[in-house]
A and B are shown apart, each in its own frame.
Chain A
Amino acid sequence: AQSVTQLGSHVSVSEGALVLLRCNYSSSVPPYLFWYVQYPNQGLQLLLKYTSAATLVKGINGFEAEFKKSETSFHLTKPSAHMSDAAEYFCAVMVRERDDKIIFGKGTRLHILP
């Protein structure tokens, strides 16, 4: 069975500081991994996706994530936080089978301090 653990339900960083949101996964087979973001009063938006190509994946809005098989991790980073990054972020896993369901983590709410 697949699962995702996000460390920290709330993370606060200062504007301009590094953003690091942690995600560890469990999967019996090589997974697809995702980060989604939900801005206030909006739906879920895909930030980036790992599908077995490059282990460092670049997404939208300056975010990137690195797949580390040895650590079963897929942490999300951004070098310099912006006020507009305040949102809730979800790490997710999908088994590499066609059309399988996505399993989400509990989410991490990112707060940006001025």
Chain B
Amino acid sequence: EAGVTQFPSHSVIEKGQTVTLRCDPISGHDNLYWYRRVMGKEIKFLLHFVKESKQDESGMPNNRFLAERTGGTYSTLKVQPAELEDSGVYFCASSHGGRRAFFGQGTRLTVV
């Protein structure tokens, strides 16, 4: 069974540019979560999709972040325009029926 896949693994962009992160969950998993870890701090929840609907987006830092999950399959997280404090590792996770959540390897974003 394929795991949760995230693209790209690394991204370096300049302040003010746009970056789009992608997450492919495990097939059949209705729940998809985005998390972020800023250097030296805890892994923080960003938002939760159930299929294509946003169940909880209380962790989204501001309106520069836009998450979508068209068709309830893969999800994208767009940061526009990126700021220096957006640097960190962005994790995606998926689960089915409230059971164990499987995490991807993360995307390391560096804004310079």
Chain A contact residues, CB within 8 Å of chain B: 36, 42-46, 49, 90, 97-107
Contact = CB atoms under 8 A, between A and B. Distances in A.
Contacts, number: 49
B45 A101 contact: yes
Interface stretch (B12-20, B62-70, B76-84, B102-110): B102-110
A103 B105 CA distance: 18
Contact of A99 (B4, B35, B48): B48
**Which DSSP category, helix, strand, loop or mixed, fits chain B's interface?**
strand
A102 B97 contact: no
Contacts of A107: 42-43
A104 B43 contact: yes
B27 interface: no
Given A99-B50, A99-B55, A43 B42 contact: no
Contacts of B50: 99
B91 A101 contact: no
A106 B105 contact: no
A42 to B, nearest CB: 6
Interface string B14-54: 00000000000000000101010000011111001010000
Contact of A43 (B33, B56, B103): B103
A106 B100 contact: no
Query: Which of A101, A104, A106 gathers the greatest number of chain B CB atoms within 10 Å?
Result: A101
B43 A98 contact: no
B97 A90 contact: no
B61 interface: no
Contacts of B56: 101
Contact of B105 (A42, A102, A104): A42
Contacts of B101: 46, 102
B33 A44 contact: no
Contacts of B48: 99, 101
Contacts of B44: 104
Nearest to B56: A101
A98 B91 contact: no
B75 interface: no
Give the interface centre of B42, B48, B55, B105 by most chain A CB atoms within 10 Å.
Answer: B42
